[in-house]
Structure 1
Amino acid sequence: MLQKAGRRGLAEEAADRIRDAIFRGDFPPGAALREVELAAQLDVSRGSVREGLAILEREGLVQSAWHRGTKVIDLTTRDAREVYSVRAALEGLATRDAIGRVDLAALTRLVDAMARGLTEGVASEELLALDIDFHDTIYQATGNRRLIEAWQALRSQVYLFQLTRIRLGHNEYRAVVVDEHRELVTLLTRGQADAVTRFAEEHVHSALRALAGQLSR
């Protein structure tokens, strides 16, 4: 069940609640999102829900069709290839631009937190939150507004696909998450633009290969 929204008529909060529910798996891929039911659960107007769903559609998490309503996006291998190919290009550019600008100590703290999480057996979803924070830090460091906006437009879809990757094969994710991010910090520290670009792109492509294999099964 969805939690009631704290303030009535706030589309952004409705979007936040529905997004969280999608990420939790309450609304699986392809699930219908009905305005009347969502409004009742959130205790907001249908207009607020409609605006909230429009926010999520701009993020790529849901899709609307005439006479068919709104539903959560499907997670197919084709969708994964489209999302991750765009992400790879963005990651390569972001890591290159972040050289000499990004807070390396902050990135190291995030990787250390991932390593502690593995040792302490935290849920993979907690590791993913640190993972996304790591990449958010790199994008923000670039100072490139359009690049940051491009990442924000894709971020929710990446998060959902990565959650799916974890749920289908969390051991594979846990085996690589620390080492791959530690290597990114090393390359950023050395200022090796070509090397960090290639590794950042491969970091994304390897995630795609893992997810595509899981989805095909």
Structure 2
Amino acid sequence: MQPAQRRGLAEEAADRIREEIFAGRIPPASALREVELAASLRVSRGSVREGLAVLEREGLVRSVWHKGTHVIGLTESDIQEVYDVRGALDRLAATTAAAHASAEDLDELDWLVGQMAAETAAERALSLDLEFHEIIYRAAGNQRLLAAWHAVRSQVHLFQAHRIRLGHDYQDRVEREHRELARLIRAGQTKRLATVAEEHVHSARRALLAGLATPPEDQPPKS
């Protein structure tokens, strides 16, 4: 049986690497080398290996035999797959939550929307955004649906963080779109809610793809 401390180090390694990926300091498609990570984190290669396995289960990294481990890319195929799955999941979660959410759940959604409106840092707004959706999934009361959300949550976080770095309208939309979702869930308007929940996801996908297609101002377009 593994010592408890070793498992703790593996989880901490996963946390630190995940943070670096979300912050963009380890960019999409980057190679993740155990020796370098172990030296940087001051843990064993075994702890790094276990930590990377955690991130692979989250879909944040991929390991390929003889090619090593890499952060997932930002290809159109990756983006389409993740957002298609999330769109279907969010639609079901929102409509189910409308029937099962408690008064406390509804109040917390409204509170988070208020926090989004007051937040000036996009990275913090993203944390509130993900917390908002976590509450919806939990309020739905379906453990398998919640597990499916957790399977893509880290990938969604990475893609949304990159969308923010591209500067493509995230701050303009975050409070308005979530306020509408909270209102419809509280009102139990499931037909309209299903459409809005799915469009909320697909608009995020379109914004990310548009941002990727537009080169930064300080770089010339690709030939």
- The TM-score, its normalising length taken from structure 2, stands at 0.89
Aligned-pair CA distance for 1:8: 5.4
Q: For the residues of structure 1 that align with 2:143 and 2:21, how far apart are their CA atoms?
A: 28
Aligned-pair CA distance for 1:13: 1.3
Aligned-pair CA distance for 1:216: 2.1
Answer yes or no: is 1:136 the counterpart of 2:134.
yes
Tell me the secondary structure at the aligned position of residue 43 of structure 2. Answer: coil
Q: Is the 8 A contact 1:61 1:157 kept in 2?
A: yes
Residue-pair matches, total: 206
Q: For the residues of structure 2 that align with 1:30 and 1:78, how far apart are their CA atoms?
A: 14
Question: Residue deviations 1:155-196, cap 9 Å, x none?
Answer: 0000000001111124x1111111110100111111011111
* Number of the residue aligned with 2:218: none
* Number of the residue aligned with 2:200: 203
Q: For the residues of structure 1 that align with 2:99 and 2:147, how far apart are their CA atoms?
A: 21
Aligned-pair CA distance for 1:101: 2.7
* Number of the residue aligned with 2:106: 104
- The TM-score, its normalising length taken from structure 1, stands at 0.92
Q: Is the 8 A contact 1:81 1:208 kept in 2?
A: yes
1:44-123 → structure 2 map (5 Å cutoff): 44-102=43-101, 103-117=105-119, 122-123=120-121
* Number of the residue aligned with 1:156: 154
Q: For the residues of structure 1 that align with 2:98 and 2:208, how far apart are their CA atoms?
A: 29
Answer yes or no: is 1:23 the counterpart of 2:22.
yes
Answer yes or no: is 1:214 the counterpart of 2:214.
no
Q: Is the 8 A contact 2:24 2:162 kept in 1?
A: no
Segments of structure 1 that go 5 or more residues without pairing to the other structure are 1-6
Tell me the secondary structure at the aligned position of residue 39 of structure 1. Answer: helix
Q: Is the 8 A contact 1:77 1:216 kept in 2?
A: no
C-alpha RMSD over aligned residues: 1.2
Q: Is the 8 A contact 1:8 1:45 kept in 2?
A: no
Q: For the residues of structure 2 that align with 1:19 and 1:174, how far apart are their CA atoms?
A: 23
Tell me the secondary structure at the aligned position of residue 100 of structure 2. Answer: coil
Segments of structure 2 that go 5 or more residues without pairing to the other structure are 215-223
Letter in 2 for 1:130: L
1:173-188 → structure 2 map (5 Å cutoff): 173-188=170-185
Q: Is the 8 A contact 2:31 2:68 kept in 1?
A: yes
Identity %: 60
